[in-house]
Amino acid sequence: MALTGMEIFKLLPKTNCRECGLPTCIAFAMSLSAGKIELSACPFISDEDKEKLAQTDAPPVAIVSIGNNKKPLKVGGESVMFRHEKRFNNPTALATLVTDTMDDSQVDAGLQRFCKLRYRRLGINLQADLVAIKNEAADAQKFVGLIEKVKAGSDAKLILMSEDPDVMSMGLQCCAEQKPLIYAATRDNAERMTALSMEHSCPLAVKADGLEELIDISTRLMDAGVKEIVLDSGARTLRQAFADQVHIRRASVHANIKPLGFPTITFPCEMAQNLSMETLIASQFISKYAGIVVLSDLQGESLFPLLLERMELFSDPQEPYMAPEGVYEIGNPDRNAPVLLASAWALTYYNLTLAAETSRTPVFLCIERLEEPDIMCWCHHCLRSTQKGKFNAASTIQFIEKCKLEERVDHKKLVISARNAEFKAELENALPEWEIFVGPGEAALLHGFLPEFANSL
């Protein structure tokens, strides 16, 4: 079990020397406990205490890496049941399924969607992560051919799915260097799958029939020296699979049951008859507590909401999202489109984007990263948004100049929120070439303002 902040503190030198970059040893202890600093940041801990403290670095749910060393995909590494206790670390990986009984056009279309359905939100790239390649045909060469096709047609990390060790061995011959996840060791083939996992240094999934058997097979793998294990309890009904996910997480986090201290893999693709139901089931497993979710296919309308859910759930609850500073084009604006100035709160960004889209008025959104982001907020949630004395005209001038708006628009009109009306004069003095317009107090009221303002430009 991870040590608490106070338990860590007892093992520190307590000199408050600040070498670690923190003001006190207690601050270091709390940060280490929260996973916000590395143990190596303090050079004065004895080797003996380092060994004791190393367990704080080892989360109850082990980290499993899939893919080669350059940029492996990490799953697991979790240490809490609920996000608000600390944070979730490694986002649930999303996989799409292809089988060697699909015809070429189906596989090609699936791979194209894997490569095409990629999004960028608040500076974060969102996409599916894995392709699960399943052996269903009697011919092992078809499995190998499919692996080659996926390798050539995508940059995906791989899951190889076959319970036949001979077929798996042939599959690994052509992609072991990519460190795929081997799925799966079962009661009957565990020894041979373990040998393949050890020979090729690939992570190994366990497929069991219930939690007891899962613990049994996982223990056998651990005893044989497999370090990276992924768990599948075998349940294929939502009720049972959901319960298993919760039991496995609780057993690892609260009872330190080592054979269950690994990330899980789930198969909504085998639990639903249609895309909507499959997406709903996948959504449940993202929130509780799957390491990998395998989908039968990727479609924008199902993948995008899952990616957004994942992004929100695996963010740090203590650090609200901020949009990267810059100029955002909302709705393909032309040179006469309105220009709005706002701070980088994600909520403000979303509200303004929504207002522009629903009022069908393309705009340029100038998002400035401010020390006090609520100073230029457009959302009614920020009660402090008109605090006086914190507005820094100098930084806003620099930001507007950096935006090079003259390359994008023919006018010099800038819209600020009514909450910032008191800064209008200050801004006009600082930006004499620009005319400052005061818009509504919050983004929700922009629907009426924006079209009219756009027509006046």
Nearest to ligand SF4 of 43, 389 (CB atom): 43
Nearest to ligand SF4 of 12, 93 (CB atom): 12
Q: How far is the CB of 10 from ligand SF4 (least distance, A)?
A: 12
Nearest Cα to Cα of residue 251 among 81, 76, 2: 81
Residue 415's SS3 state is strand
Which residues of the chain form contacts with ligand SF4 (CB under 6 A)?
Answer: 12-13, 15-20, 22, 25, 28, 42, 44
Q: How far is the CB of 43 from ligand SF4 (least distance, A)?
A: 7
Nearest to ligand SF4 of 37, 382 (CB atom): 37
Q: How far is the CB of 19 from ligand SF4 (least distance, A)?
A: 4
Nearest to ligand SF4 of 15, 395 (CB atom): 15
Q: How far is the CB of 56 from ligand SF4 (least distance, A)?
A: 13
Cβ proximity of 183 and 161 under 8 Å: yes
Nearest to ligand SF4 of 46, 429 (CB atom): 46
Side-chain half-sphere exposure of 140, counting CA atoms within 13 A: 13
Nearest to ligand SF4 of 18, 120 (CB atom): 18
Q: How far is the CB of 32 from ligand SF4 (least distance, A)?
A: 9
Per DSSP, the residues of 179-201 read -PEEEEE-TTTHHHHHHHHHHHT
Q: How far is the CB of 268 from ligand SF4 (least distance, A)?
A: 45
Nearest to ligand SF4 of 42, 196 (CB atom): 42
Alpha carbons 121 and 228: distance in angstroms, whole number: 31
Scored b (16 or more CB within 10 A) or e, 357-395 reads eebebbbbbbbbebeebbbbbbbeebeebbeeeebbeee
Cβ proximity of 151 and 179 under 8 Å: no
Q: How far is the CB of 46 from ligand SF4 (least distance, A)?
A: 11
Q: How far is the CB of 5 from ligand SF4 (least distance, A)?
A: 12
Residue 162 carries which side chain, given as an amino acid letter?
S
Nearest to ligand SF4 of 14, 71 (CB atom): 14
Q: How far is the CB of 31 from ligand SF4 (least distance, A)?
A: 9
Beta-strand ranges (E) seen in 139-219 are 157-161, 181-185, 204-207
Residue 247's SS3 state is helix
Side-chain half-sphere exposure of 163, counting CA atoms within 13 A: 8
Task: Give how far Cα 42 sits from Cα of 10, 14, 16, 66, Å.
Answer: 14, 11, 11, 31
Alpha carbons 23 and 232: distance in angstroms, whole number: 45
Side-chain half-sphere exposure of 310, counting CA atoms within 13 A: 28
Q: How far is the CB of 42 from ligand SF4 (least distance, A)?
A: 3
Cβ proximity of 309 and 284 under 8 Å: no
Nearest to ligand SF4 of 9, 434 (CB atom): 9
Nearest to ligand SF4 of 8, 235 (CB atom): 8
Cβ proximity of 293 and 94 under 8 Å: yes
Tokens of 370: 């401010």
Alpha carbons 427 and 448: distance in angstroms, whole number: 24
